[in-house]
Amino acid sequence: MPGKRSSCPINTCLEIFGDRWSLLVIRDLMLSGFRSYKELLSSEEGIATNILADRLSKLEDAGIIASRRDPEDGRKLLYRLTTKGIDLAPILREMARWSTTHEGAHPSPATVELVKANRFVQEARRRSEDESLPPLLAPSPRRKAR
C-alpha cells in the first residue's frame, strides 16, 4: 500500500479500516451476503452516497470486497466479501463482543446468535459461497425463482 505511515501491523489495518464507515460496510456484507449499492445505502447508520461510493472503491482496491454486474439488471453492481474480507469475521465478532460487554451496545439478534454460537466465520463463508448465487466475475445464467 503506497503512502503508509509505517510498517506497523496496526497502522496497516488502520490505513484500510480506520474510518467511520468501512467496517460497517463489511458488517453489512458479512451478515447479508450479496448487497447492492442501494441496499448498503439503506443501512441504519445513514451513510452518505459519496462516502459509500468512496469506501466501496477503497475496499475493492484493497481486495476486501469484489463486485460484479447483477445478472438480472446489468446496470447494477452487486458486492460481496472476498476470502480476505471473510477473514475479518473473527475481528468483527470480538469487536461486537467487546462493545456489548463494555459499552452497552445492542447487537441484532442475528449477530448475538452468531457470536454466541461462534459461527461468525462459517456463516460469512456460507453466505459468500452460497451455490445458489452465481460465482463472482463469471458469466452466469439467471437464477431460478424459488
Q: Is residue 80 part of a domain?
A: yes
Strand segments (E) across 13-143: 35-36, 65-70, 73-81
| Amino acid identity, position 136 | L
Q: Is the dihedral of CA 72, 24, 9, 98 positive or negative?
A: negative
Instruction: Give the whole-angstrom CA distance, residue 39 versus residue 36.
Output: 5
Would you state the pLDDT for residue 39?
Answer: 92
- Amino acid 117: pLDDT: 59
1 in Cβ contact with 15 (< 8 Å): yes
| Domain presence at residue 50 | yes
Q: pLDDT in tens for each of the 146 residues of the chain?
A: 557 788 898 898 888 888 989 999 998 888 776 689 999 999 888 999 999 999 999 999 999 999 999 888 989 999 988 889 988 888 888 888 888 889 888 877 767 766 665 555 666 666 666 545 443 333 333 333 33
Burial class for 74, CB neighbours closer than 10 Å (0-12, 13-18, 19+): exposed
- Domain for residue 85, yes or no? yes
Query: What is the extent of the structural domain holding 102?
Result: 9-129
User: Which residues face 35 on adjacent strands?
Assistant: 79
pTM beyond 0.85: the answer is no
The count of residues in the chain is 146
Q: Is 141 domain-assigned?
A: no
Domain count, the chain: 1
Residue 134: phi, psi to the nearest 5? -65, 150
Structural domain includes residue 72? yes
pLDDT score at 125: 64
- Looking at residue 38, which CATH number applies to its domain? 1.10.10.10
